[in-house]
């Protein structure tokens, strides 16, 4: 669940319901998606939660893809465990686990004004038996830490039952030490941050694998947490330090890790900041760790691929503004365009309308391909390569749409054969790319929040283009015309067919070609909207602006040029243009912010 959907759609709606119901609705809904065949691919498509190898950590024999974990307080019933394991965390905490389910548990108290969640001591627990059932079904992608609750005897029993599912245990019992040889995996001692100085640091270091600094309800908690980490370092404490809570924006996590925390867990701040907080922290960490060095010129092949499409679009524009139909079209039809003009001039204008919209879409697609290659693939960004690959493959497959109604022209085949080797070389030479995005964003400032509106607008725009491409392609190989087309031409299809039975296949070929191009460009817009929204990526904003102008200019102006101004027919274009303007206006400052 990305931030644009969480903050703008789900959170406002679910705020009208009891909080425990809202929580379970989100968790179970996400879990159901993750449980579907390929569900994890859907989640990754929406959020791109992979971690860079630069963030990898090895602690006490446990491999962490990154330092950010999720506190068990967020999902005490384990109703969203499968979903959370796909949201980019480096590790997961579950629990506290008790032998028996908690009777009459207290629910968290949420102070939305101050963005504080008070988690009760008598918290929810599903008990050992149900926890075991869930763990047997759930195969976590990251290390799992299990927090235990109860007496020492109860915790020892829990360890024996849960050890095969845990990578580490967290216990609040000071007397449950490693000297008892109770388990072979790490056991971390959990202590409220304000009680640490009452306990011997030396005994904690000797008795446990590490320490977990538990959160307290205090307006100064974050400062206290930093001071406590500093105190531990001054005391010479050398084992892992884990923290819980205190993180509401990326800057908080960066400060804790810089202070000396080895691993940090998100709790209440994750609820208020949104599910994208994990990704934003990782992007901010990478910004500090990884200067962006360009790759060798392997990206140039994708750039040339975009350039070829751009040039093809320019040629199509010239043809659309002059001859409209080409000699091989006339050869297939068995008549000159002058004959068509004498029969019904609007047929030719209608064909120009289809060909000009295709030309504008090709020019836009070419621009986007080139900028993705230059600013994305050149710097090793995997998402940019995958965006190009997805849209290009769909575009290549679209050639089969051209023959769906019986007409295939050689020029499209030649263009296809020119593009294929250029793309194939680019695909092969960039197969090693694995880079993830970086971002300057460290604060939950108003500019970031406003950018979510623009991101949602572009996501809807991308989905609209994809849907429009599918619909137009389908119409091109089936009915060919929509009712407003017939009204504009002033002739039913039967009359066109009686005039020349090859005319409709030519028109269908144009429609299917435009639909295929729109589908490819829609995928580009959608994937940029989902994956490229990082603060400071001003090239993304300019790509969307410059890349969008040709398609909108050609697609709307040609209708007025030929007099096809039906408000119903142009409504989708106006809707798309509104989203385009809204998206650009609300994201400008976010993309152009340097700090």
Whether 505 and 407 have beta carbons less than 8 Å apart is answered as yes
At a CB cut-off of 8 Å and minimum separation 6, what does 432 contact?
Answer: none
| Residue 329, CB-side half-sphere exposure with 13 Å CA sphere | 21
CA distance 176 to 173: 5
The candidate with the shortest Cα–Cα distance to 549, out of 354, 361, 322, is 361
Whether 70 and 89 have beta carbons less than 8 Å apart is answered as yes
Q: What is the pLDDT of residue 307?
A: 97
CA distance 465 to 391: 12
- Which has the higher per-residue pLDDT, 103 or 506? 506
At a CB cut-off of 8 Å and minimum separation 6, what does 154 contact?
Answer: 98, 99, 148
pTM above 0.85, yes or no: yes
**Where do the H-state alpha helices sit in 138-200?**
152-162
Average pLDDT over residues 410-419: 85
Share of the chain above pLDDT 90, in %: 62
The candidate with the shortest Cα–Cα distance to 229, out of 206, 253, 257, 208, is 257
Q: Which of 153-167, 286-300, 314-328, 510-524 has the lowest average pLDDT? A: 286-300
Whether 529 and 455 have beta carbons less than 8 Å apart is answered as yes
pLDDT digits (tens, 9 = 90+) for 194-207: 888 888 888 888 88
Average pLDDT over residues 493-519: 90
pLDDT band (50, 70, 90) for residue 336: very high
Share of the chain above pLDDT 70, in %: 98
Integer CA distances (angstroms), 502 to 44, 324, 555, in order: 46, 17, 26
Give the single-character DSSP code of 491: S
Question: Does position 34 have pLDDT exceeding 90, yes or no?
Answer: no
Cis peptide before 17 (omega within 30 of 0): no
Average pLDDT over residues 8-33: 83
Q: What is the pLDDT of residue 12?
A: 85
The candidate with the shortest Cα–Cα distance to 71, out of 232, 245, 317, 308, is 245
CA distance 264 to 268: 13
Beta-bridged to residue 244, according to DSSP, are 265
pLDDT digits (tens, 9 = 90+) for 446-487: 999 999 999 999 999 999 999 999 999 888 878 889 999 999
- Which has the higher per-residue pLDDT, 48 or 305? 305
Whether 519 and 473 have beta carbons less than 8 Å apart is answered as yes
- Which has the higher per-residue pLDDT, 595 or 445? 445
What rounded mean pLDDT belongs to the chain?
90
Q: Supply angle C-alpha 308, 313, 318, rounded to 5.
A: 125
Please state at what angle helix 337-371 crosses helix 538-562, rounded to 10 degrees: 170
Question: Does position 402 have pLDDT exceeding 70, yes or no?
Answer: no
Whether 354 and 367 have beta carbons less than 8 Å apart is answered as no
CA distance 283 to 267: 19
The candidate with the shortest Cα–Cα distance to 454, out of 12, 48, 7, 1, is 7
Question: Does position 327 have pLDDT exceeding 90, yes or no?
Answer: no
- Considering the chain, tell me which residue range(s) the CATH 3.20.20.70 domain(s) occupy: 47-289
CATH number listed for the domain at residues 47-289: 3.20.20.70
User: Both tokens of residue 516?
Assistant: 């295929």
Question: Does position 117 have pLDDT exceeding 90, yes or no?
Answer: no
User: Both tokens of residue 329?
Assistant: 């079209």
Q: What is the pLDDT of residue 474?
A: 85
Kindly tell me the sign of the dihedral angle through the C-alpha atoms of 264, 267, 268, 269.
positive
Beta-bridged to residue 210, according to DSSP, are 188
The candidate with the shortest Cα–Cα distance to 173, out of 143, 198, 147, is 147
pLDDT digits (tens, 9 = 90+) for 536-581: 999 999 999 999 999 999 999 999 999 999 999 999 999 999 999 9
At a CB cut-off of 8 Å and minimum separation 6, what does 510 contact?
Answer: 351, 354, 355, 358, 476
The residue with tokens 């365009």 is: 337
CA distance 117 to 119: 6
pLDDT digits (tens, 9 = 90+) for 232-256: 999 889 999 999 999 999 999 999 9
Q: What is the pLDDT of residue 403?
A: 63
Please state at what angle helix 300-321 crosses helix 337-371, rounded to 10 degrees: 160
Q: What is the pLDDT of residue 293?
A: 74
Question: Does position 179 have pLDDT exceeding 70, yes or no?
Answer: no
Cis peptide before 164 (omega within 30 of 0): no
Whether 74 and 271 have beta carbons less than 8 Å apart is answered as yes
């Amino acid at each position: 669940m990305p931030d644009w959907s969480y903050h703008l759609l789900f959170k406002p709606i679910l705020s009208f319901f009891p909080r425990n119901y809202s929580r379970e609705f989100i968790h179970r809904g996400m879990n159901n998606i993750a449980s579907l065949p390929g569900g994890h691919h859907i989640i990754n498509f929406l959020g791109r939660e992979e971690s860079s190898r630069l963030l990898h950590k090895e602690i006490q024999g446990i491999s962490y893809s990154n330092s950010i974990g999720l506190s068990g307080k967020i999902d005490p019933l384990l109703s969203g465990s499968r979903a959370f394991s796909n949201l980019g965390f480096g590790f997961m905490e579950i629990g506290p686990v008790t032998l028996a389910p908690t009777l009459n548990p207290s629910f968290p108290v949420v102070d939305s004004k101050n963005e504080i969640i008070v988690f009760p001591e008598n918290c929810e627990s599903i008990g050992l038996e149900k926890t075991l059932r869930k763990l047997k079904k759930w195969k976590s992608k990251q290390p799992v830490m299990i927090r235990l609750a109860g007496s020492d005897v109860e915790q020892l029993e829990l360890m024996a039952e849960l050890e095969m599912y845990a990578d580490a245990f967290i216990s609040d019992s000071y007397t449950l030490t490693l000297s008892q040889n109770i388990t072979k995996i790490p056991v971390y001692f959990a202590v409220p941050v304000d009680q640490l100085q009452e306990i011997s640091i030396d005994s904690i270091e000797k008795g446990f694998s590490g320490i977990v600094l538990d959160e307290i309800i205090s307006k100064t908690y974050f400062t206290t947490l930093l001071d406590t980490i500093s105190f531990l370092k001054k005391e010479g404490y050398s084992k892992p330090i884990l923290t819980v809570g205190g993180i509401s924006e990326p800057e908080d996590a960066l400060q804790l890790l810089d202070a000396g925390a080895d691993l940090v867990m998100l709790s209440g701040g994750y609820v208020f900041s949104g599910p994208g907080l994990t990704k934003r922290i990782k992007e901010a960490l990478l910004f500090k760790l990884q200067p962006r060095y360009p790759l060798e010129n392997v990206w140039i092949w994708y750039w040339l691929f975009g350039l070829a499409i751009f040039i093809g679009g320019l040629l199509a524009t010239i043809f659309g503004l002059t001859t409209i139909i080409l000699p091989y079209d006339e050869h297939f039809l068995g008549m000159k365009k002058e004959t068509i003009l004498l029969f019904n001039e609007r047929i030719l204008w209608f064909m120009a309308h289809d060909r000009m919209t295709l030309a504008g879409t090709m020019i836009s697609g070419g621009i986007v391909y080139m900028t993705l290659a230059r600013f994305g693939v050149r710097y090793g960004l995997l998402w940019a390569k995958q965006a190009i690959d997805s849209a290009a493959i769909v575009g290549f497959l679209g050639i089969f749409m051209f023959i769906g109604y019986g007409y295939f022209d050689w020029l499209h085949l030649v263009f296809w054969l020119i593009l294929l080797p250029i793309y194939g070389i680019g695909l092969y030479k960039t197969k090693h790319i694995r880079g993830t995005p970086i971002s300057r964003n460290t604060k939950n400032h108003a500019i970031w929040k406003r950018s979510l509106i623009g991101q949602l607008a572009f996501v809807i725009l991308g989905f609209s283009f994809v849907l429009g491409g599918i619909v137009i392609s389908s119409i091109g190989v089936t009915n060919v015309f929509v009712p407003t087309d017939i009204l504009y031409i002033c002739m039913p299809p039967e009359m066109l067919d009686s005039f020349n039975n090859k005319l409709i296949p030519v028109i269908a070929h144009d429609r299917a070609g435009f639909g295929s191009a729109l589908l490819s460009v829609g995928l580009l817009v959608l994937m940029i909207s989902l994956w490229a929204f990082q603060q400071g990526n001003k090239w993304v904003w300019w790509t969307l602006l410059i890349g969008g102008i040709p398609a909108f200019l050609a697609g709307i102006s040609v209708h007025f040029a030929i007099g096809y101004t039906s408000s119903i027919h142009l409504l989708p274009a106006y809707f798309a243009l509104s989203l385009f303007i809204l998206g650009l206006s609300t994201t400008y400052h976010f993309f152009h912010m340097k700090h």
